[in-house]
Amino acid sequence: MSDLHLVGLSIRNGSKIYPGTQALKNVDFDLRMGAVNVLVGENGAGKSTLMKVISGVEQLNGGTIELDGKVVAFADRTEAARHGVGIVFQELNLFPNLTVTENIFVGHEKTFGGIHIDSVAQTATARALMKRLEQDIDPDMPLGNLRIGQQQIVEIAKALAENARILILDEPTSALSATEVDVLFRVIGDLKRQGVGIVYISHRLEELIRIGDYITVLRDGVITGSRSMEGVDIPWIVANMIGTASKEFPKTVEHTLGDEVFRVENVCLPRPAGGYSVDHMSLSVRAGEIVGLYGLMGAGRSELLECIMAQHPNSSGKLFIGGAPVREKSVSGRIKRGLALIPEDRKRDGLVQIMTIRENLTLSSLKDFTRIFHLSLKEEAGKAAEFVKRLAIKIASLEHPVSSLSGGNQQKVVIGKALMTQPRILLMDEPSRGIDIGAKAEIFRTMRRLAGDGLGILFVTSDLDEVLALSDRILVMANGRLTGSFPAGANAADVVSAATPNLNRVDTL
Amino acid sequence: MTSIDTARGAKTETGESKTSALLVLLHMRTFVALILVFTFFAIAAPNFLTGGNMLIISKHVALNALLAIGMTFVIIAGGIDLSVGSIVGLCAMVAGYLVLYGIDLGFLGIGYSIQFNTIEICLMVLVVGVGVGWINGLLITKLNVAPFIATLGTLYVARGAALLFSDGRTFPNLGGNPDYGSDTFRLIGSGSFLGFPLSVWIMIVVALLAAYLAARTPLGRHIYAVGGNERGAALSGVNVDRTKLFVYMFSGFCAALVGLIISSQLQASHPATGETFELNAIAAAVLGGTSMSGGRGRIGGTIVGAFVIGILADGLIMMGVSSFWQTVIKGLVIIAAVVVDQVQQKLQAKVILQQQVN
């Protein structure tokens, strides 16, 4: 089958290093024309980085990219586009204030003499694209008025308008309805016949098997499997995604679990467009227990934690700590009751980047060092130093800005800040995101130790490996609902299928 | 304030000496600028160094410094307060009205008016200033109006209110009345203690309080956190709304003090008092190292910044430089200050990175 499809673009020995982590390690990747090249791997495995490199958004630190046998180096996105590489990002890169047509042509407008926009031709092309994508979307409609799924279609139309020879689709179906997925697959079939090389990234494994011609599996920046799709099944993909040799996760230390320390009852978060982001979620955590909350992106896990942490005033439901109801409506009130959150986005939510390490560590517990209104800097520094030692945070000085630390050490500062409030329940949203393997293992050891000390931990992850190895109990969420509950040592395939309950729907199409 | 200084000083000792020396110099840049400006005028302008002149300059600086202290907190918290100049005007008019007329209770039909002594007048004026700041804070926190727009609105409203108070006229002869105990009103502007004008003492006390608040209280820390990362601060349990409310109310408080001082100094209040004062206050804060994007700034820096601007203005006048050129020079100094600040930030990040590697 490989002979049928020529290799259009290939990467040899590609490496990409970000501060603190290596996202790609000596990757060899072949992109075949006239075929769907499926790319799969867990969050943080390097899929998106690889695609950013191909589309010129990021540049390799080592290795080469060859296009039609010639070595190329894309300085930016526009240069890649000139070479016929188009990309549809996972996050929509659209302008809600502009019309559908304007969005499709932004950056490469059809013009007379480079000045006057030929809006008639643009609208006509946009209308033709919408027809091709079988969408009833008015090209003059402001994009902001469209549903998310329709916006995603516009994003795809944008790539098609550039006549891409290579088209990268990063999780294009995550926001699409079943019929829209069907249309997209028909369009992909068309493009294939026209010789376009398609890269398709998705977490929905059965979807991949259905549409893919070739498959490449990434794990921790390394390609662990690459072959034609023939004969590939889900167990093969999962095995390559996770690997046989488990990562250095600390084994579950045997300790007895205490009584229930935290309970969530019927938490709901309505979506502005109707329906629920969090749909009647209930769960409980015992003292000393680590509960892993697994699910795909957009399953409502982060939203649930945000509801618990009083971030959504329009959410409903009840919380109980040690059996007593939580009525506090403010973050500080809930922190006082013993809740603490490690947010998913460290930079945006977890830290004040321009403040020092000391100031960040103590931000939630300043009143412990305050008499009436006087803040004792000496006590504060002492406590900060104690936590730096306890969590083995590598720093040169407490007075450096927290932004000077690596991802793993920044995460430890966030954890330190939460622990300083002496919580009874620790909520952790993707605690290992964006940090390297060594630091990950250390974070996990810390979580184990904290659980051993009697802390209840509820952590959210998209990393199957992580949830399987670390949890005393595994809960799975999909579409805002609880779709599975497994004991430690559950079967990986069961957990995955609980996380994608709409697979069957796609299958029966 | 002092503790932050020593912490920063200790940090630079460990680094490479050359960049560190430069960094210390850059860090002290406003102070260096102050010394340069001072030395220049001491040589170039006759009579600059006389005691009388120093007193005049310090009286001028005190007003701008007071506004700039309030402004510094607002900017550190990630906002801006354009209304301070108008609050000065409004408060001056309220003070003048109270001194002259008290509160007329004629509308109750008893043909009687209440007169107040100096302390009472001061308290009422301060309440007005803090009240306008409170409105600013409410607009920004509860109604989600952008600080620039909210305070631009109150800039107009407060100025208009000041004009309405007297129908645009000046309240003259604010000598007060010994019978009511308001004859001491003029002392706010003209009194002195240990040889320094009272207004300078007010500035010193407010500056010390503000510096203490910034460095040694949870509220001060919260102001920095809110300006550095509002969402992060909220998730850490910081009451963001209350923190913001405070900084605008404090800014209004400082503006009310200035309104009192000016009307007392002139023994008259004019509704145009304080026009464009907000720009000088912002300039002093920025010159002193306050970052317009929030999270960074110190009261000490702001005071030094206010002195640089004040000495520059008065010194140039003494040298006979045209006021047109003065404006140009002031603008250039502000721009230079921000450029140097950027250089310092970059260099500092580099030094810290080096220390991490070592």
To the nearest whole Å, the CA of A335 is away from the closest chain B CA by 7
Mean pLDDT, residues A157-183 taken together:
81
Given a cut of 70, is residue B2 above it in pLDDT?
Answer: no
With bands split at pLDDT 50, 70 and 90, how would you rate the model's confidence at A240? confident
Which single residue is written with the structure tokens 């203005």? B313
Maximum C-alpha span of chain B: 81
How many whole angstroms separate alpha carbon B98 and alpha carbon B121?
7
**Contact (Cβ atoms closer than 8 angstroms) between residue A284 and residue A266:** no
pLDDT of residue B109: 66
Flag if A352 and B233 touch (Cβ within 8 Å): yes
**Residue B104 backbone phi and psi in degrees, to 5:** -80, 120
Maximum C-alpha span of chain A: 78
Q: Report the number of distinct structural domains present in chain A.
A: 2
Q: Looking at the structure, tell me whether residues A48 and A132 fall in a common domain.
A: yes
To the nearest whole Å, the CA of A504 is away from the closest chain B CA by 39
With bands split at pLDDT 50, 70 and 90, how would you rate the model's confidence at B108? low
Q: Could you give the C-alpha distances from B129 to A115, B65, B89, B303, in angstroms and in order? A: 53, 17, 10, 21
Q: Which residues, numbered 205 to 264 in chain B, qualify as contacts with chain A under a Cβ-Cβ cut-off of 8 Å? A: 215-222, 224-225, 228-229, 231-239
Given a cut of 90, is residue B201 above it in pLDDT?
Answer: yes
Residues A326-341 pLDDT 10s: 999 999 999 999 999 9
Given a cut of 90, is residue B227 above it in pLDDT?
Answer: yes
The shortest CB-CB distance from B239 to any of A332, A350, A404 is to A332
Given a cut of 70, is residue B16 above it in pLDDT?
Answer: no
Tell me, yes or no, if B292 comes closer than 8 A to chain A by beta carbon. no
To the nearest whole Å, the CA of B358 is away from the closest chain A CA by 9
Which amino acid is residue A439, in one-letter code?
A: A
Q: Is residue A40 part of a domain?
A: yes
Check residue A433 and report its DSSP letter.
T
Q: Looking at the structure, tell me whether residues A266 and A238 fall in a common domain.
A: no
pLDDT of residue B112: 75
- What is the residue extent of each domain of chain B? 54-320, 323-358
For chain A, give the mean pLDDT: 85
Given a cut of 60, is residue A252 above it in pLDDT?
Answer: no
pLDDT of residue B141: 96
pLDDT of residue B206: 97
Of residues A482 and A3, the one with the higher pLDDT is A482
Tell me, yes or no, if A335 comes closer than 8 A to chain B by beta carbon. yes
- DSSP-derived 3-state class of residue A279: strand
The shortest CB-CB distance from B3 to any of A351, A352, A377 is to A377
Kindly report the CATH number assigned to the domain that includes residue A158.
3.40.50.300
pLDDT of residue A20: 57
To the nearest whole Å, the CA of B346 is away from the closest chain A CA by 12
- DSSP-derived 3-state class of residue A86: strand
Q: Is residue A140 part of a domain?
A: yes
Question: Within a 13 Å sphere around the CA of B352, how many CA atoms are in the beta-carbon half?
Answer: 23
Q: How many helices (H) and strands (E) does chain B have?
A: 15, 4
Q: Looking at the structure, tell me whether residues A345 and A305 fall in a common domain.
A: yes
Tell me, yes or no, if A401 comes closer than 8 A to chain B by beta carbon. yes
Least confident range from A42-51, A227-236, B3-12, B92-101: namely: B3-12
Q: Give the ipTM.
A: 0.81
Query: What topology is assigned to B54-320 in CATH?
Result: ABC transporter involved in vitamin B12 uptake, BtuC (1.10.3470)
Q: How many helices (H) and strands (E) does chain A have?
A: 17, 24
To the nearest whole Å, the CA of A13 is away from the closest chain B CA by 28
How many whole angstroms separate alpha carbon A401 and alpha carbon A160?
45
Residues A266-320 pLDDT 10s: 999 988 767 888 999 999 999 999 999 998 777 889 899 999 999 998 999 999 9
To the nearest whole Å, the CA of B244 is away from the closest chain A CA by 16
Q: What is the DSSP string of A98-120?
A: SBHHHHHHTTS--EETTTEE-HH
pLDDT of residue A21: 65
Q: Looking at the structure, tell me whether residues A238 and A333 fall in a common domain.
A: no
Among A198, A213, A242, residue at a domain's last position:
A242
What is the token pair recorded at A483?
Answer: 């779709």
Q: Is residue A35 part of a domain?
A: yes
**Most confident by average pLDDT, A2-11, A99-108, A404-413, B254-263:** B254-263
Tell me, yes or no, if A351 comes closer than 8 A to chain B by beta carbon. yes
Of residues A1 and A214, the one with the higher pLDDT is A214
Residues of chain A found within 8 Å of residue B7, distances taken between Cβ atoms: 399
Find the domain containing A320 and state its range. Answer: 260-351+423-508
pLDDT of residue A475: 94
Flag if B218 and A375 touch (Cβ within 8 Å): yes
Q: Looking at the structure, tell me whether residues A291 and A233 fall in a common domain.
A: no
The shortest CB-CB distance from A396 to any of B219, B237, B355 is to B355
Of residues A351 and B356, the one with the higher pLDDT is A351
- E-assigned strand segments in B252-322: none
Tell me, yes or no, if A373 comes closer than 8 A to chain B by beta carbon. yes
For testing the chain A interface, which of B8, B221, B223, B236 should be mutated: the one with the most A CBs within 10 Å? B236
Length of chain A: 509
Q: Is residue A150 part of a domain?
A: yes
Mean pLDDT, residues B65-80 taken together:
97
